[in-house]
């Protein structure tokens, strides 16, 4: 039974790293864990947001331009949060406001410029929403390897101290600190790689969604300025 316990226990594993390391090693380990959890939370939330927006975009492209009027098209766009509906509403409100204005500042602005400014503002808000959280992934992907490298350097420093105290480079004196250093390196890479891959994947998804939003906004603007009923696409 004692032999089995000795075979299963790893004196140089994660548990040993935590129990044997000093406050600096524990701090580096904690920082890497927090960075990993934070990046995964951002990636999951952003992926869910993108999935929802893709459904909203598909609904808008399918139903909006098949409506008989701009108001009917807006009514077909459901959901508590629907940036495509907001784009159409802002454009329609801009047209109505411009046409009712005779003495204020909007009377000196071309209708096309007035509508485009409102639609561009709404698409910019969508872009800002899509970009939120991306800086976390970029920061984690860029800094996690260096945090792990700091833990590596600190582990090697401990190994050198152990050698100096023992007066000889025996395996039992240096295995623990060197193992700590290697684990820190691995943890840094394990945190950084998913963050970088997630950042690139989400960035590609954001670009695709913005292209669809810009195409939709362009078509809405054209329909508003033409002043005609919407035709199916």
pLDDT score of 134:
93
pLDDT score of 12:
56
Which is more confident, 28 or 134?
134
Helix boundaries (H) for the chain: 2-8, 14-20, 23-63, 70-76, 83-100, 111-131, 134-166, 171-226
pLDDT digits 0-9 by tens, 191-211: 999 999 999 999 999 999 999
Mean pLDDT of the region 91-111? 67
Token digits of residue 25: 């090693």
Q: How confident is the model at residue 229 (pLDDT cuts 50, 70, 90)?
A: very low
Q: Quick one: what percent of the chain has pLDDT higher than 90?
A: 26
pLDDT averaged over every residue in the chain: 79
Using a CB cutoff of 8 Å and minimum separation of 24, what contacts does 48-52 make? 49/130, 50/130, 50/202, 50/205, 50/206, 50/209, 52/81
pLDDT digits 0-9 by tens, 149-178: 888 887 777 777 766 766 665 666 666 667
pLDDT digits 0-9 by tens, 29-70: 889 999 999 999 999 999 999 999 999 888 888 888 777 777
pLDDT score of 205:
93
pLDDT score of 19:
64
Q: Specify the DSSP element, H or E, that contains 193.
A: helix 171-226
pLDDT score of 191:
93
pLDDT digits 0-9 by tens, 79-100: 788 888 888 888 878 777 777 6
pLDDT score of 34:
94
pLDDT score of 135:
93
């Amino acid at each position: 039974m004692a032999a089995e316990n000795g075979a299963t226990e790893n004196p140089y594993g994660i548990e040993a790293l935590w129990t044997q390391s000093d406050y600096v090693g524990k701090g580096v380990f904690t920082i890497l864990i927090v960075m990993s959890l934070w990046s995964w939370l951002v990636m999951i939330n952003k992926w869910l947001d993108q999935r929802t927006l893709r459904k909203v975009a598909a609904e808008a492209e399918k139903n909006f331009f098949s409506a008989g009027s701009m108001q009917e098209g807006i009514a077909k766009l459901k959901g508590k949060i629907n940036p495509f509906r907001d784009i159409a509403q802002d454009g329609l409100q801009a047209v109505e406001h411009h046409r009712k204005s005779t003495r204020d500042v909007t009377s000196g602005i071309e209708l096309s410029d007035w509508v485009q400014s409102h639609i561009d503002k709404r698409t910019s808000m969508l872009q800002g929403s899509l970009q939120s959280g991306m800086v976390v992934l970029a920061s984690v992907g860029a800094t996690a390897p260096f945090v792990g490298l700091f833990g590596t350097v600190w582990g090697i420093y401990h190994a050198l101290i152990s050698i100096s105290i023992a007066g000889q480079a025996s395996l039992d004196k240096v295995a623990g600190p060197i193992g700590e250093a290697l684990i820190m390196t691995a943890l840094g890479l394990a945190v950084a790689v998913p963050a970088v891959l997630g950042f690139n994947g989400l960035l590609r998804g954001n670009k695709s969604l913005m292209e669809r939003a810009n195409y939709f906004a362009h078509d809405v603007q054209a329909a508003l300025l033409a002043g005609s009923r919407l035709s199916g696409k």
